[in-house]
Amino acid sequence: EVQLVESGGALVQPGGSLTLSCAASGFTFSGYEMHWVRQAPGKGLEWLSHIDTTGSTMYYADSVKGRFTISRDNAKNSLYLRMNSLRAGDTAIYYCVRLEQHLLTSWGQGTLVTVSS
């Protein structure tokens, strides 16, 4: 069974940094491209970032480009999202998502990031 478990969500002050992690199991992690998607409280889904299987190609939404960095460690079956210069508008549940044939097929349960003073 595919499992994606996010962690690292926390309350952080504006301007602060945070790194989210996603532990993958139940599939060959190194064979799948991965994404981060977020959802602000009571709002819709926002795609944030994509990384290819080797970690050599990454894409970002304009809203986080230059502030967020996606990475992965295939040896540890883990995906990461380093978030810098956090703003109140970054408050959201952050989902780790597996890509399969261009589709976001498997989602974690999400981890909550709250940016507030």
| Minimum CB distance to other proteins smaller for 72 or for 98 | 98
Among the listed residues 25, 28, 105, 116, the single contact to other proteins using CB under 8 A: 105
- Amino acid in position 71: S
99 contacts 11 by C-beta, under 8 angstroms:
no
Considering only CA atoms, which of 12, 46, 115, 34 is closest in space to residue 81?
Answer: 34
- In 64-82, which positions are buried (b, 16+ CB within 10 angstroms) versus exposed (e)? beeebbbebeeeebbbbbe
Among the listed residues 31, 56, 103, 117, the single contact to other proteins using CB under 8 A: 103
| Minimum CB distance to other proteins smaller for 55 or for 110 | 110
Contact pattern for other proteins over residues 38 through 77, marking x by CB under 8 A: ------xxxx--x--------x-xx---------------
- Amino acid in position 28: T
DSSP 26: S
Smallest distance from the beta carbon of 82 to other proteins, in angstroms?
20
Binding site for other proteins (CB under 8 A): 35, 44-47, 50, 59, 61-62, 95, 101-105, 107-110
